[in-house]
A = this chain, B = another copy of it.
Amino acid sequence: MEWTLNRKADNPLYQQIYEIIEERISYGEFPPGSRLPSERKLAQELNVNRMTIAHVYDELQASGLVERKKGSGTRVSTHKWGILPKGVTNWRKYIESGSFIPTYPLIKKIRDEAKQMKGGYNLASGELSPDLFPTHLLQSSFTDLGISEDLGSVNQQGHLPFRETISQYVKEELRIGTTSASVLVTSGAQQALYLITQCLLNPGDAVAIEAPSYSYSLSLFQSAGLRIYGLPVDKDGIDPDDIVNLYEKHKIRMIFLNPTFQSPTGSVLSESRRKKVLEISTRYGIPIVEDDPVSLLSLEGDRQFPLKSIDNSGNVLYIGSFSKVIASSLRVGWIIGPQSVINRLADARHQIDFGLSIFPQLIATQILQSPQYRIHLDDLRAELLERRNEMVSVLSEVLGDRITFTIPSGGLFLWCKINRKIDDHQLVGEALKNKFLYMPGSVYGAPNGYARFTYARIKKENMREAVMQFADALSRVP
């Protein structure tokens, strides 16, 4: 919720707040019978004194707009005022319907804090910092945007010239062979995962995911009614034999992997394990969904290529995206897979949103076709390497043997074990007091005492300060 208060206006704050609430009640945004935010919560959101809100609510009650009862808070009056009708929809019954599981509370808390926090150190978000976006490429893509295209027809599978550009791009940069007919453009990797879990699986199906993994934090698996089984990840990724065990025990129907610079651990599935995973996948006929946001971001050693680059059997559904190499707000991702699967997903997609807006696709086409894009990728890798190095040295200096970590060879994240028993909720809370945000391991299904730090979002020169804040928070947790 956003409220715009004018702290320099002539009319006092309490009056401004009163007027906004009155207006929103008259618009039906707070329907008769619905509950207003608590005094405490609203005061916090608006950054005003709680007494101010109490005063506003008193006035609203005096004018008959709201009713206040001990225990049930402040509700919009159900009896007539003005042209308000007497009856009203019980929206609560509707909001509790449907199969969408609300976002995991701890994640929601961290996300909300990140939005409201001014200053501070955000090592929680999985995004690049804005200075890493290819701003010049975006800017020049706008100038070059033509609109000769037929803007009236939406291609539910994705704009054809863009799909052709993508298939060229993945061939050159990722060694994945595909044709435009087998590419489905999605609204980021998230929609790709959503389509796959909703359209290719049934409620009750068993699937395997890495443990810990980013997927664990996604309520979409639970929302689709899937049973989730974990494949433990070590520094070389998952152990392929675990797949066979899960298959024999639970008849898993799909495997979700992020084999290259995995989130949160940063590990890379080793060459020999990749071959074995593919071999098992084809022997048992269990398809693999490869989520690959960052394989382009190899920071040292040999370039890592996706699992899909060595799959000729069409057993791997590949998910790519530009969120971590251009900008997440572009919302462009894609799926590569067998023709029949792509057709099915494209048809379902038509029901969900008709297809992606043509504009992000035109912009992405311009960017990919620019020779500057390769230079941007080199610059990005160089900058990320510096940030990673700084984080590694600062962590070692400041926290020493209080923590253990493996240096990630690519991607955006450093995964860190705290060498004593610790409660994640407590540590998150203490860190928040120091304006330090990170992702605790438990949201990824790890035991308490792990932390995922994003080194891509914080500038090198702020790294030491940030880690000091974390160390300070850690010292306060018993």
Tell me the A residues contacting B by CB distance below 8 Å. 1-3, 20, 23-24, 26-32, 34, 82-92, 94-95, 97-100, 102-103, 115, 125, 127-130, 133, 135, 138-139, 142-143, 145, 147, 149-154, 160, 177-182, 186-188, 190-191, 194, 198-202, 205, 218-220, 223, 253-254, 278-279, 281-287, 311-316, 327-332, 337-341, 343-344, 347-348, 350-360, 363, 457
Contacts and interface: CB of A to CB of B under 8 A. Distances in A.
A282 B33 CA distance: 12
Contacts of A253: 94
Contact of A357 (B147, B360, B457): B360
Nearest to A171: B27
Contacts of A128: 152
Contact of A194 (B143, B190, B351, B359): B351
A30 to B, nearest CB: 6
Nearest to A352: B194
Query: SS class of chain A's interface: helix, strand, loop or mixed?
Result: loop
A12 to B, nearest CB: 20
Contacts of A149: 329
B359 A3 contact: no
A260 to B, nearest CB: 19
Contacts of A91: 287, 314, 338, 340-341
Contacts of A95: 200, 340-341, 344
Given A97-B201, A142-B142, 9 more contacts: A24-B339, A28-B337, A30-B339, A88-B315, A94-B341, A138-B147, A143-B143, A152-B329, A194-B351
27 contacts: A2-B181, A24-B179, A24-B182, A27-B177, A30-B338, A82-B312, A85-B313, A87-B283, A87-B285, A88-B314, A91-B287, A94-B200, A94-B253, A97-B200, A97-B201, A97-B205, A98-B202, A103-B347, A128-B152, A129-B152, A130-B152, A151-B327, A152-B328, A152-B329, A190-B351, A190-B354, A331-B358
A179 B31 contact: no
Contact of A338 (B29, B129, B312, B340): B29
Contact of A311 (B28, B154, B328): B28
A353 B190 contact: yes
Contacts of A29: 178-179, 181-182, 314, 337-339
Given A191-B353, A198-B98, A330-B358, A31 B338 contact: yes
For A152, A154, A337, the residue with the greatest tally of chain B CB atoms inside 10 Å of its CB is A152
A135 B160 contact: no
Nearest to A76: B314
Work out how many copies of this chain go into the complex.
2
Given A87-B283, A153-B127, A344-B95, A354 B338 contact: no
A188 B353 CA distance: 7
A62 to B, nearest CB: 21
Contacts of A284: 87
Contact of A98 (B145, B200, B357): B200
Given A34-B338, A145-B142, A359-B330, A88 B351 contact: no
B181 A26 contact: no
A315 B28 contact: yes
Contact of A100 (B87, B154, B279, B347): B347
Contacts of A359: 329-330, 357, 359-360, 363
9 closest cross-chain pairs (CB), A and B:
A28-B314, A31-B314, A331-B357, A187-B353, A191-B353, A151-B327, A100-B348, A87-B282, A329-B358
Given A28-B311, A331-B355, A147 B127 contact: no
Given A29-B338, A220-B351, A86 B180 contact: no
A315 B89 contact: yes
Nearest to A147: B138
Contacts of A352: 190-191, 194, 220, 352
